[in-house]
Amino acid sequence: MKKIYHRSIINMMLRLPGSLMLLFVGCIFGYAQKNRPVVDVDKAFQLAAKQYQGMLAAHTDVTKFPQSTKPDGSPDNRAASWWCSGFFGGSLWYLFEYTRDNKWREAADTWTMAVEQQKFNKGTHDLGFMLYCPFGNGYRLTGNQKYIEPMLTGAASLSTRFNPQIGLIKSWEKHDNCNYPVIIDNMMNLEFLFWAARQSGDKKFYNLSVTHADNTIKNHFRSDFSSYHVVCYNPDGSIFRKKTAQGANDTSAWARGQAWGLYGYTMMYRETRDPKYLRQAEGIAAFMMNHPNLPKDKIFYWDFNAPNLPNEERDASAAAITSSALLELANFSKANKKKYIDFAEKILVSLSSPEYTAEAGTNNHFILKHSVGHKPAGSEVNTPIVYADYYYLEALLRYRGMKK
Ligand code: GLY
């Protein structure tokens, strides 16, 4: 079929007058140029594979999950109950998706199953990160039925944290003097509940996600589409306080928080097709992309309003999440499609450069350098962090899909 198609294009070209033929060839060339990938995804994945091969060799104990680097330079590992335990398995699935090499599938399965017992954990809102990143990708890529039950049990655990009186999932047990803190990050755990609604046929998961997202629009966002990190609620659903935990101050725009919001509302639109979520995602994107404190290489400072700009750390994780989110948002926005792809591409070019990508064999086997976990607490400041790698690989795969 393809050959016949190509031959008929060539025959048609030969019958065209010279100038028209030039125009025709020019158009095809122009189209090919426009669609040409600027980011070398193959090279990035080759390096990622080298790093994660080393990571697997250094992590033979599946109760110690790669997280980051300690201030003394040694690897910082965490337990399965830490909110980031699903990202390593998730990244291994992305390596399998890219290479189709069964060695990654086996490793991914091992590190996925290592998180399984968290399905009973009712003490965290992060079960989406912990279970859906590894199990969800594993199920998507293999169809293996054994991944279903842990996710459905986990989704039921997560939904116990939803208080119908307040209309939101509780994030942390307690924070300062807040008894019912909800953080913008929580938007990221709703994707898991949408999957559970589809899989189980139980609409409850869908409805509570929509209610949580609507109340977050109402209470977390400012008029410029930036968001507070934490909103503390009273038992009757009224607001006790709006503040930050990981940002520079209560009224600042913590970079990763903005990225979680962008990703979360893009996902909300994908799942519901309700235009208000698309408007929200586009508003957040505009806030981030047009911010006066945006660095040239598009890798955000850890907080848009950090006090000592430009002498502040960058957060590669916020950039990686944003890049992945914009590549999805581009599918939904005719007007801004090109803008979103160009911005995401610029982020990926920067992240793939030696400034942010570690040399093979360095960086405790993480792919990216220069993320910020929790600067006010002095934790993970300018270090690799496991979720920066995860969203970087996801963005590269989305980018590859788009450029194909
Ligand atoms: N969800 C916690 C963080 O983004 O640091």
Question: Is the CB of residue 124 below 6 angstroms from any atom belonging to ligand 1?
Answer: no
Atom of ligand 1 nearest to the CA of 185: 1
pLDDT of 12 reads 55
Ligand 1 centroid distance, CA of 29 (Å): 44
pLDDT at 37: 77
pLDDT for the residue 179: 94
- Block residue for tokens 């992590």: 59
| pLDDT reported for residue 33 | 53
Q: Is 380 in the pocket of ligand 1 (CB under 6 A)?
A: no
Whose Cα sits closest to atom 1 in ligand 1?
185
- Output the pLDDT for position 8: 53
Residue position matching structure tokens 């938007």: 187
In terms of Cβ atoms closer than 10 Å to its own Cβ (0-12, 13-18, 19+), residue 201 is exposed
The pLDDT of residue 404 is 81
Mutation choice for ligand 1 from 254, 256, 375, CB with most ligand atoms inside 8 A = 256
Reply yes or no on whether 303 is catalytic: no
- Give the CA-trace dihedral at 85, 87, 89, 92, to 10 degrees: -160
pLDDT the model gives residue 54: 98
For 144, residues 6+ apart whose C-beta sits below 8 A from its C-beta are 109, 138
pLDDT tens per residue across span 254-313:
999 999 999 999 999 999 999 999 999 999 999 999 999 999 999 999 999 999 999 999
Cβ neighbours for 130, distance < 8 A, ≥ 6 positions apart: 80, 83, 84, 85, 86, 115, 118, 121, 124, 154
Query: Per-residue b/e over 56-71, b at no fewer than 16 CB within 10 Å?
Result: beebeeeebbbbbbee
Q: Decide whether any atom of ligand 1 lies within 6 Å of the 109 Cβ.
A: no
Q: How far is the CA of 89 from the centre of ligand 1 (A)?
A: 18
256 in contact with ligand 1, CB cutoff 6 A: yes
Quote the CA–CA distance of 71 and 378 in Å, as a whole number.
10
What is the rounded CA–CA span in Å between residue 112 and residue 121? Answer: 16
Q: What is the pLDDT of residue 194?
A: 98
Of the residues 68, 84, 184, 185, which should be mutated to test ligand 1's pocket, given the most ligand atoms within 8 Å of the CB? 185
Integer Cα distance of 304 and 248 in angstroms = 9
For ligand 1, what atom is nearest to the CA of residue 188?
1
Give per-10-residue mean pLDDT for the chain (404 aa): 46 58 50 70 98 98 98 98 98 98 98 98 98 98 98 98 98 94 98 98 98 98 98 97 98 98 99 98 98 98 98 99 98 97 98 98 98 98 99 98 88
72 is catalytic: no
- Supply the pLDDT for residue 138: 98
Residue 195 contacts residue 136 (beta carbons within 8 Å): yes
The alpha carbon torsion through 300, 332, 35, 41 (nearest 10 deg) reads: 50
HEC sequence for the chain: CHHHHHHHHHHHHHCCCHHHHHHHHHHHHHHHHHCCCCCCHHHHHHHHHHHHHHHHHHCCCCCCEEEEECCCCCEEEECCCCCCHHHHHHHHHHHHHHHCCHHHHHHHHHHHHCCHHHHHCCCCCCHHHHHHHHHHHHHHHHCCHHHHHHHHHHHHHHHCCEECCCCEECCCCCECCECCEEEHHHHHHHHHHHHHHHHHCCHHHHHHHHHHHHHHHHHHECCCCCECCEEEECCCCCEEEEECCCCCCCCCCEHHHHHHHHHHHHHHHHHHCCHHHHHHHHHHHHHHHCCCCCCCCCCCECECCCCCCCCCCECHHHHHHHHHHHHHHCCCCCCCHHHHHHHHHHHHHHHCCCCCECCCCCHHHCCECCEEEEHHHCEEEEECEHHHHHHHHHHHHHHHHHHC
Q: Is 282 exposed, middle or buried (0-12, 13-18, 19+ CB in 10 A)?
A: buried
Q: Are strands 371-374 and 65-69 parallel, antiparallel or unpaired?
A: unpaired
Task: Please pick, among 126, 303, 315, 389, the residue that the annotation labels catalytic.
Answer: 126
For the record, the structure tokens of 347 come out as 């982020």
Asked if residues 125 and 186 have their Cβ atoms less than 8 Å apart, the reply is yes
Spacing, Cα 3 to ligand 1 middle (Å): 51
Answer whether 388's CB lies under 8 Å from 368's CB: yes
* 8 Å CB contact between 359 and 342: no
- CA 124 to ligand 1 center in whole angstroms: 12
Give phi and psi for 302, each to the nearest 5: -60, -25
